[in-house]
A and B are shown apart, each in its own frame.
Chain A
Amino acid sequence: MSIIVAEGLVKQFPGEPRPAVAGVSFVVEPGEFIVLLGPSGCGKTTLLKLLNRLYEPTAGRLLIGGVDARGIPVTELRRGIGYAIQQTGLFPHLRVAHNIAVVPRLLGWARPRIEARIDELLALVGLPQSYRSRYPRQLSGGEQQRVGLARALAADPALMLMDEPFGALDAITRSRLQDELLDIQRKLHKTIMFVTHDVEEALRLADRMLVMREGQIVQFATPLTILTRPSDPFVEQLVGAEDALRQLSLMRVGAALTRRSSRAESTSAAATLPPLRLDDDLRTALAQLLSSGGDALPVFEGEREIAQLTLADMRAMLRRSTVAAPTALEPTR
């Protein structure tokens, strides 16, 4: 059964000329990681808040887990949906442990179970146990966001709504948390609706991306489809599809390999894919990488695997190409 079914959802704020969400319909299956992407003010946050009924729709119908959301008592509905926001909304007067325990307490969990859960979640988001007794203002912005993530996960909800939850994090922590989140999602089969402004983050996390503009859905498809077959110039520009892909198609795998990534470890996925060669173009490599579901692809010379190609290599390549364009076109060897 689909976990979310939205039919013609509209949210019109009083006194606003246009509806913030202007009739959107979509279906999300359990276990999907959906990323909402779109320019500022396009209605991403509003759509998310319609899902946990922080806003009631002006029109349309919403089914959560096959049940009309209006038929579920609103507090019960929300306790079953994890919610994390960029401003974190941590309770300043409660210590970290208590912040994390809010929903389990509302659900009436027994004390030992709550304590064990707090331990588990702190470890999961990479915070030391000593942070239990800190107040939010004693944490950095990034640490607060991690507590926000732990809090949203606390009662192990099947559905999580996350509104730019990693906005305040540095690139390293962000990518670590992205990994953790993907891991959690795959292991625990969670459904996640994740808002971001960051295209790279979207491409990395999404099973499917929901691209919005002016309150409407312009494309709802896999990252690969969005990159290779954007539905219109707006999407193309938003995800930088044209630019990046055109560049990638001109670059060779061999040029993107760096010494760092050439320490090949184990060959994982991609056994069924055609082997990647040094003189293949990066656009092909990207398509293979995305469809393999792995983090790296083996690169072959003859029968021998000589290196691993990662998304980071391609990203670095693109970045390098913008400063020194000609090197990108150099043939390998």
Chain B
Amino acid sequence: MSYLLKNWPYVGTLLLQHLWLTVSALAIATVIALPTGVLLARAPRLRGPVLGLFGLLYTIPSLSLLVLLIPLLRLGYWPAVVTLVIYAQLVLTRNVVVGLTGIAPAVIEAARGMGMNSWQRLTQVELPLALPLMLAGLRIATLSTIGIATVAAFVNAGGLGTLLFDGVRSSNPEKIVAGAIAVAALAIVANALLRHAELWASRGWGAA
């Protein structure tokens, strides 16, 4: 605790780095997952293979994935972000697919029967109805990304992992504790915020 109080500007910088890694990785991952999920929802045949591939990538230990990416992307921000994007893909895409395919067929039929084209159907009916599940996916992906992002320090990408690695290297338990507390705090705040967003997305009409 005393380390945290004495060095808060340094810890704060690391925290911001950590946050930036997490947010940018999730933004990129969402931009990929959204159209992929919509595509998979409409093409059931692609669903198994693509989600299977994401599942496979998900099982690779994060450290080995980082190491594998170093020859391609060198050290620093990029290998870390790419790793995080790959990990977030499974949860994000799967929740988009589940959200879209779980909509009652009668609702889709009504939308078509009333003369919405497929874009209107997607934006006015399907995505709003899938939003709560999509945000639930984002929340889970955010928590795991905050955790995995600690490993980014290994490739000099900064973040709160730096405290953990330094603490281990220099046998300084105070640093490790400070790092762990900061990561946990970040995760708790992110969880609360996203939970709110989820509830907001289905306010009034949702079952939750």
* Residues on A facing B (Cβ under 8 Å): 52, 54, 74-80, 83, 85, 87-95, 102-103, 106, 135-137, 151, 161
Q: Which residues of A contact B104 (CB under 8 A)?
A: 87, 89, 92
Contact B205 A136 (CB under 8 A): yes
> Which of A92, A106, A151 is close to B205, meaning CB atoms less than 8 Å apart?
A92
Contact B107 A78 (CB under 8 A): no
B: interface residue count bin: 20 to 34
Taking A89-B107, A89-B110 as given, write out 7 further A-B residue pairs in contact, using a Cβ cutoff of 8 Å, ordered by the A residue number. Answer: A78-B115, A83-B113, A87-B104, A89-B104, A92-B104, A106-B114, A106-B115
Q: Which residues of B contact A137 (CB under 8 A)?
A: 205, 207
B129: CB under 8 A from chain A?
Answer: yes
Contact B112 A54 (CB under 8 A): yes
B1: CB under 8 A from chain A?
Answer: no
Contact A92 B112 (CB under 8 A): no
Query: Please, how many angstroms separate the alpha-carbon atoms of A89 and B110 in the complex?
Result: 5
Question: For chain B, what secondary structure do more than half of its interface residues adopt (helix, strand, loop), or is it mixed?
Answer: helix
Minimal Cβ-Cβ distance residue in B for A136: B205
Minimal Cβ-Cβ distance residue in A for B202: A93
A136-B205, A137-B205 in contact; A103/B115 too (CB < 8 A)?
A: yes
Q: List 20 A-B contacts (CB under 8 A).
A: A52-B113, A77-B115, A78-B114, A78-B115, A79-B114, A79-B115, A87-B104, A88-B106, A90-B110, A91-B107, A91-B111, A93-B128, A93-B205, A95-B204, A102-B114, A103-B114, A106-B115, A106-B116, A135-B204, A137-B207
Minimal Cβ-Cβ distance residue in B for A161: B113
Contact B110 A106 (CB under 8 A): no
Contact B205 A135 (CB under 8 A): yes
112-166 of chain B: CB within 8 A of chain A? 112-117, 120, 125, 128-129
Query: Please, how many angstroms separate the alpha-carbon atoms of A75 and B112 in the complex?
Result: 8
Q: Which residues of A contact B114 (CB under 8 A)?
A: 78-79, 83, 102-103, 106, 151
Q: Which residues of B contact A94 (CB under 8 A)?
A: 205
Contact A89 B115 (CB under 8 A): no
Q: Which residues of A contact B207 (CB under 8 A)?
A: 137
Query: Please, how many angstroms separate the alpha-carbon atoms of A42 and B204 in the complex?
Result: 39
Name the residue in B106, B114, B129, B207 with the highest tally of chain A Cβ atoms < 10 Å from its Cβ: B114
> Which of A79, A91, A135 is close to B110, meaning CB atoms less than 8 Å apart?
A91
> Which of A77, A89, A93 is close to B129, meaning CB atoms less than 8 Å apart?
A93
> Which of A52, A85, A93, A151 is close to B106, meaning CB atoms less than 8 Å apart?
A85
